[in-house]
Amino acid sequence: MKKEEIRYATWVVILAIALWGCIAQNKKSDRHRNQPGPSVDCDVRGECPQIMILDDPPSTGPGTFHGYADSIIAHDLDVLDRLWLAYSWLDITTGTDPSGKPVLMAVVSSHLARSDDGGTTFNFVGELYPATPLVDPEGSGENGILSSETVSLAAMRSGGDVTWYGAHLRYFLRPKRGYNPNYATSWTVRIGAAPSPDQLGDTEVVENETILGVSMTSPSYNLKVQLDKLAGLPIQKCAMVNNPALFAQNGSLYLIVECLAFVGTDSDYDNSTIQVFGTTPFGNPQTWIWRHVGKLSDHSLAEELGADTLLQPEVTLAADGSLMLMVTPAHIDHSLQVRTRGEGCVAIEIDSLDPPMIKRNSEGRSVVRANIEGKGFCACTYDNASTTGILTHVQWEGHFYTMHATGLRP
């Protein structure tokens, strides 16, 4: 596969499998899930109340690219009833295209909120990873924006100290109308470490983030790891990594991420996978040594769940302490601009993360712990300490993106 083909394929079809792939639809799910656990239909009025962040209202302006998306919730290891909530904050800002004309750009920054009452209310803490003006590091001369989205949080205690880890996607937004990242060459996963979530965005922490991508990523982004090569995958089967999730266990930090595959200029859902990488996170993040832990899921699990592909993975703990994988099953739908139709969320039991292994019942099928149904609801997150239960988000047709509590605590 030629480099030019991969760049073109990524630019054309990536919206089907990137951030917005699971939230721009309004068709009711019709899939049949095996052994369904507790479920909730967020289309039913009052079933999934909306969550607002005090002192951080949605941005205002033209269009509907406003609101909250891609939330991650995690409990504090030291303070009872304290929860941290990171989320994408969507906005429209004015840029200048290469001809000097003003353009309205859809940008994303990462914000942080906190609850001290177990999830009843959330208060704005600050902008964790801002969207900042930047001259294209790849030398095009374009004056664009460095954007951030899809934050993940994890914490680990060592002795008497707690360290928090934050992962997020970073990429260069070109100065064009709408949402136009340099997908193929600027899309990176960045991971930092700090004593508290509200310090993950500090200048010194950000400067010491480790940067991960694939062999197609531009050298100007100073990658520390090319994940396709580390996993032993050809670039066609991991042309881009997306939607990072962190999980800490037994002194190891794990990165769970989508490896997106292509054939020529077409997305290859049959060979797209969810892969797990691990490290022992001591010292400066840029010195961490990463290893490939293994493949957590592939197309066969998507088929088992009645879907074509799986989006937005998160590994978390169930109420009984067992491991769960949360994903958004999606169908291919070429009538949509994003080319996939996300259909709620599903929580599946995991036997092991290292090595990765989905739990199976006596019939060899995955064990489903919980289902979220609803038009366009997706990208779920869960922490058993929160009274909100599983959190999800949606974009109602013609409206802003909103975040919702399901109350499900599987």
Residue 138 has pLDDT above 70, yes or no: yes
Place of tokens 């630019």: 11
- Type of residue at 24: A
Residue 135 has pLDDT above 50, yes or no: yes
Number of domains the chain is built from: 1
Q: Please name the residue ranges forming H helices in 121-202.
A: 183-186
Confidence grade of residue 117 (pLDDT, cut at 50, 70, 90): very high
- Type of residue at 259: C
User: Of residues 4 and 398, which shows the higher confidence score?
Assistant: 398
CA pair distance 321, 311, nearest whole angstrom: 24
Residue 26 has pLDDT above 60, yes or no: no
Interval 312-342: pLDDT, tens: 999 999 999 999 999 999 888 766 545 667 7
- Beta-bridge partner residues of 330: 309, 342
Q: Is residue 403 assigned to a domain? A: no
Residue 18 has pLDDT above 50, yes or no: no
Q: Is residue 231 assigned to a domain? A: yes
Residue 88 has pLDDT above 50, yes or no: yes
Confidence grade of residue 185 (pLDDT, cut at 50, 70, 90): very high
**Cα R_g (the chain), whole angstroms:** 20
| Total residues found in the chain within this entry | 410
* Range of weakest confidence among 26-35, 89-98, 321-330: 26-35
Q: Is residue 288 assigned to a domain? A: yes
Which pLDDT belongs to residue 205?
Answer: 98
Of 275, 280, 180, residue with least CA distance to 226: 275
Q: Is residue 401 assigned to a domain? A: no
Q: Is residue 303 assigned to a domain? A: yes
Which pLDDT belongs to residue 5?
Answer: 42
Q: To 10 degrees, the CA torsion angle through 179, 201, 328, 384?
A: -150
- Type of residue at 283: G
Cis-peptide into 36, omega within 30 deg: no
DSSP letter assigned to residue 335: T
Cα distance between the two ends of the chain: 43
Which pLDDT belongs to residue 34?
Answer: 54
CA dist 219 → 211, 213, 241 (Å): 11, 10, 16
Residue 253 has pLDDT above 90, yes or no: yes
Residue 12 has pLDDT above 50, yes or no: no
Of 253, 340, 269, 273, residue with least CA distance to 313: 273
**Mean pLDDT over each residue of the chain, to the nearest integer:** 90
CB 292 within 8 A of CB 275: yes
Output the DSSP codes for 258-293.
EEE-EETTEE-TTT-EEEEEEE---S-GGGPPEEEE
Q: Is residue 251 assigned to a domain? A: yes
- Beta-bridge partner residues of 66: none
Q: Is residue 400 assigned to a domain? A: no
Confidence grade of residue 233 (pLDDT, cut at 50, 70, 90): very high
Residue 2 has pLDDT above 60, yes or no: no
Region of 11 on the Ramachandran plot (φ > 0 left; ψ -120 to 50 alpha; else beta): alpha
Alpha carbon 359 to its chain centroid, in Å, reads: 23
CB 263 within 8 A of CB 236: yes
CA pair distance 168, 190, nearest whole angstrom: 6
In degrees and rounded to multiples of 5, residue 133 shows phi and psi of -60, 145
Beta pairing class for 323-332 and 345-353: antiparallel
CA pair distance 381, 378, nearest whole angstrom: 9
Q: Where are the beta strands (DSSP E) in 209-260?
A: 210-213, 225-226, 240-249, 252-260
Interval 276-308: pLDDT, tens: 999 999 999 999 999 999 999 999 999 999 999
Which pLDDT belongs to residue 336?
Answer: 57
Residue 373 has pLDDT above 70, yes or no: yes
Q: SS3 for 19?
A: helix
Which pLDDT belongs to residue 104?
Answer: 95
CA pair distance 150, 152, nearest whole angstrom: 7
Q: What is the mean pLDDT of residues 68-95?
A: 97
Q: Is residue 368 assigned to a domain? A: yes
Host domain of residue 45: 3-395
Confidence grade of residue 9 (pLDDT, cut at 50, 70, 90): very low
Which pLDDT belongs to residue 37?
Answer: 75
**Portion of the chain with pLDDT greater than 90, in percent:** 79
User: The domain spanning residue 263 has which CATH number?
Assistant: 2.115.10
Region of 398 on the Ramachandran plot (φ > 0 left; ψ -120 to 50 alpha; else beta): left
